[in-house]
Chain A
């Protein structure tokens, strides 16, 4: 019976992961297809990678996207950390519910609505105060910050609510003023959460199509916008090549992260053993003493 359950579990996992990964694998395989008809195998070739590297439109869009993603992720981490801190540590205050609503709503808000509303805001602001003049990188960055800071807020808030808040009180008790407590205690402890928040924000920004399409001006096409306009017309092998490169980057990132994590894990296990031994020593000394 137990075996039956194990079998069921394995089967579910195999089917589930097949569903998740076959599309990605197919993208990669056909990026090396020399035939233009993506799904008809015409022999191995890397010519689409060459074509991709010669495609200025895609390269420019990729540059713009990377720039936007780096800037907006960084600012989103700053704003999201502040919001997470306020929600997790400032206790109940007037307007807390509104703030927490404003930070979670972008998580689920359909992007067409967010995009349209941001565009209308920018147009109105331009009419009233003359800024932002026209739409382009600035408006894209502002929009991406608004979208991604919600994710950072959630990550930071949940990390903070796991953190023992007597750590911060202890620092204050030892004479550190609130801002020092934040920089000396809170920030170092939640740093890993900030890192993953930044990566999340970066990825979301790099990936966003709908909101960006609303707020981007005519001269500023991001990578997803270029990809979308190309794939709308059907499959195109250089997009497969692009996808493969992206997957490779992510895979490398994950392997590196996994490697360092497992090293830290081993370190922790060693430390735990040491602590255990120390405990033993302590008990011995108490017995003697």
Chain B
């Protein structure tokens, strides 16, 4: 286990392999509560040993989708396959799936040990097998010495581990985690994120994680499924989602972004030029874009991909003038808010490379912003 988990993940991309069989297949699943579409026509493929994150704002239907995987809700329409078997109408107690609940749902009247053993007892395993598996699992999550404690004698972080151990001890094919880290404080959360990745590597389980925290999704996942109003809006690796958002919604949801509205003024297969009323020069993008001529499109530029300088660039494209309106010093970097002549405010981040910079750009200075042709992401919706 000397290699870091991230290193192994980089080579792990079964979704790019056309021959790979998805482990979980969600086909056109819709769930209605009354007239309300909690999950709306979702199709997803999740592969073995993935950590798949369902990311989205609160109320967008993540938990409902997860509960359909666990078997607590039945899809109004659509099908769910796990390892090739149609699970749509199998009750939760017969699914090879375990779930870690947002509230942890630790049985208050049982000790840590009894909680973890509960699932194995339902399988009617031998007593000594149960005992050894429970012990192994408690050691894995570092709770060995708390085996005899009752849940109310545990801290939040320990409860989270009990819940994790309890759902892992049955060796599920698929582990579902609903906001697994939301109840922990920041330090513990970061620590546990890496531990989750380690556990996944050790046991080779497939994870589906629900979270509303994009940082968490970025750190944990092999791929992210971004949800909005019950629909999946984009599926991709963290960097795909960040660097190649497919819509304004995605680019604005993940990280921060400057969005420039405009229309195509030059439309070639190898490049495009976008005229934008807010900017002094057009935006030049070094690849083609498929869009109806004359239609409104948007160019999204991340704050860290814009540079600030005092000299006016002599390029014809990809620059604009601005006045520094506000500066926030964050230590590792600074955030600049710059007002364009049109009144639009642009956000730019710059790393603080030098410790003493006497000549820093400061309030109310007139400056010029510039970016590379590869930086803008053009979205049509």
Contact = CB atoms under 8 A, between A and B. Distances in A.
Interface string A169-181: 1111111110010
Contact of A180 (B98, B107, B122, B156): B122
A274 B158 CA distance: 12
Interface in B150-173: 150, 152-158, 166-167, 170
A105 B124 CA distance: 45
Nearest to B123: A175
A73 B362 CA distance: 80
A170 B159 CA distance: 14
A289 interface: yes
A107 interface: no
Interface range for B: 35 or more
A26 interface: no
Nearest to B102: A166
B119 A175 contact: yes
Interface residues of A, number: 30
Nearest to A175: B122
B155 A174 contact: no
B129 to A, nearest CB: 15
B101 interface: yes
A185 interface: yes
Contact of B109 (A169, A175, A177, A189): A189
A188 B150 CA distance: 15
Nearest to B191: A286
A278 B70 CA distance: 32
A189 B107 CA distance: 9
A89 to B, nearest CB: 13
A287 B98 CA distance: 31
A112 interface: no
A177 to B, nearest CB: 6
B188 interface: yes
B103 interface: yes
A166 B155 contact: no
Given A174-B170, A175-B122, A282-B158, A275 B101 contact: no
- Chain B CB count within 10 A is highest, among A166, A167, A173, A184, for A173
Contact of B107 (A167, A175, A268, A272): A167
A167 B107 CA distance: 6
A175 B101 contact: no
A276 B168 CA distance: 26
A276 B93 contact: no
Contacts of B102: 166
Contact of A176 (B122, B154, B167): B122
B188 A283 contact: yes
B153 A274 contact: yes
B369 interface: no
Nearest to A268: B152
B144 interface: no
A162 to B, nearest CB: 12
A125 to B, nearest CB: 41
A164 interface: yes
A167 B151 CA distance: 13
A279 interface: yes
Nearest to A189: B109
A283 B103 contact: no
B194 to A, nearest CB: 10
Interface in B88-126: 91-94, 97-99, 101-103, 105, 107-109, 118-119, 122-123
A184 B97 CA distance: 21
B191 A175 contact: no
A279 B156 contact: yes
Contacts of A177: 93
A271 interface: yes
A276 B101 CA distance: 23
B105 A166 contact: yes
A272 B108 CA distance: 14
Contacts of B156: 279
Given A173-B70, A175-B119, 11 more contacts: A164-B105, A167-B107, A170-B107, A172-B72, A173-B93, A173-B97, A174-B93, A272-B152, A282-B157, A283-B187, A286-B188
20 contacts: A166-B102, A166-B103, A167-B105, A167-B108, A169-B70, A169-B92, A169-B101, A172-B92, A173-B93, A173-B97, A173-B167, A175-B123, A176-B118, A176-B122, A268-B152, A271-B150, A275-B152, A279-B155, A282-B158, A286-B191
